[in-house]
Amino acid sequence: MITQFNSESTGLGLKNRLERKFRRYSGYLMTWLHSGRRYRAPLKSYDLVWVSPASIDRCPAESPTVSPVIPSVVVGGNWDRELRAFQDDVVFRSFEKRFNEGVGWNQTPYYSRMKEWIAKYGSYKGMTDTTDLDRCCSQIEKLYTMIKRDGYTTQRRLSKRKIQGLDYEPYFPLEQKQITVYVARDGELLWCAGAHRLSIAKILELESIPVRIRVRYEKWKELRDRVYEGSEQDEIWTKNHPDLDPRSGKAVHTHLTKFHMV
């Protein structure tokens, strides 16, 4: 069964914060050892950039293989070649049916998939029966209502207002719980994680949302290095892409449009 409580207000709060701090510093180290030491522009594992949710409309058919303990990496290969539409994802399709068409949760493909997973494996993200599934769906409703009413904010600013029942990773640094994206070789932002929030942002047609960059393609990172050094002359990149302001410690607010590298 899912237990709902605000862990930050209990003895577990201190443990969570200490674990997050450890994971944060070890994450910086792992990022540098894996990728950061090979490039000049800092990867800044936990920095956020603000983009239009409409600009994230595809994801890799097969995600690149990266260790879950490394928050930000640079990877080559063909993972950005074969893509699928985010709108085809079971979460987005189900959220659209629920919030746009008024379909009951238990009639959505997401509910059916979770129910089937529980029947096959005994649990799904801590849920073990339909009571848990109904409670989860109720919490998603609260998340939708909160974002619609108050707008989208970062996990750090949410503080005690966050919905604890949807926090499946209490020990992770807060920035790792944001919507996460890949940057393909041509600069396109591809969805990586955070389907619930991205689906809601798209359905509500929000202007911008904070995202964290999980993986950059090697060719893209080389361009980022040139921008960092001031040797890249193409102004369209330096003025319009949210990942090309590596000297700034602040989040970049932008409306990302489609870019294509020659």
Residue-wise pLDDT tens digits, 189-217: 999 999 999 999 999 999 999 999 999 99
Domain segments of the chain: what residues? Answer: 7-240
Q: Are 243 and 43 in contact (CB under 8 A)?
A: no
Give the separation between CA 50 and CA 179, rounded to whole angstroms.
Answer: 11
Task: For the chain, state the CA radius of gyration.
Answer: 19
Give the separation between CA 204 and CA 220, rounded to whole angstroms.
Answer: 31
Residue that the structure tokens 């599934």 belong to = 133
Query: Residues 132-150: what's their mean pLDDT?
Result: 93
Averaged pLDDT of the chain = 83
Give the separation between CA 20 and CA 16, rounded to whole angstroms.
Answer: 6
Give the separation between CA 186 and CA 190, rounded to whole angstroms.
Answer: 11
Q: Are 166 and 63 in contact (CB under 8 A)?
A: no
